[in-house]
Each structure stands twice: as structure tokens, then as C-alpha cells.
Amino acid sequence: MTADDPRQAGEPRTRDVTRACENAHIRVLWDATRCIHTAICLRRLPEVFDVGARPWIDLSGAEAEEIAATIRACPTGALATKAWRSPTSSRTNRRRPR
């Protein structure tokens, strides 16, 4: 099948791929098969979501709560966020052995 194959019309360019990115405050998942390219995320938070950049999600561009609010605006659930605590922050909360 080539890129011009009409059987690919309307098909996501990437199949069965969920990509994850994370920092110390938030973990973001993007399911390429659910994205219908509304560009809502790009318009709401271009400092984070930029299809011209690689990777296209840069979590350093905004605060976690702002990113989470944009994720909630995704109409298809292609973007999702999970409660997240980085491995380094969880280490500081561990009990010390007695």
C-alpha cells in the first residue's frame, strides 16, 4: 500500500501507538489512533503542543495544571494524563528502615 492508496483515506497516519512523555509533575499520553487533528491542543497551548517540533509535545512549555486543562479539552481522548510522581520525588517520600 502506498501513501496515495485510497484505502488509507481517513486512516490515522500512525496505528496502535500511544506515546508517553513526562516530567516531574505530569505524565502525558497521546494515542495517535484517536487523534482527529482538530488542532485544539495546538491553539490552546502552542508552547507545549507544536507539530513542527520534534518531539511535538514539550512539557517544559507550561505548568502541569495548564497542560492538564488543555488535555481535558481534547475532544477524542487522544490526549490523556495520569496521576504522576516522578521516581525521584517518590524516593524522598519513602519511609526509612528502622
**In 10 A of CB 43, how many CB atoms?**
11
Instruction: Look at residue 19 and give its three-state secondary structure.
Output: strand
In whole angstroms, give the CA distance from residue 68 to residue 88: 21
CB 57, min distance to ligand SF4, A: 9
CB 40, min distance to ligand SF4, A: 4
41/59 with CB nearer ligand SF4: 41
67/79 with CB nearer ligand SF4: 79
CB 74, min distance to ligand SF4, A: 3
Q: Is 45 in the site for ligand SF4 (CB under 6 A)?
A: no
Q: Is 41 in the site for ligand SF4 (CB under 6 A)?
A: yes
Q: Is 14 in the site for ligand SF4 (CB under 6 A)?
A: no
Residue ranges in 1-98 assigned as alpha helix (H) = 40-44, 64-72, 87-93
What is the rounded (10 degree) CA torsion for 54, 56, 59, 62? 120
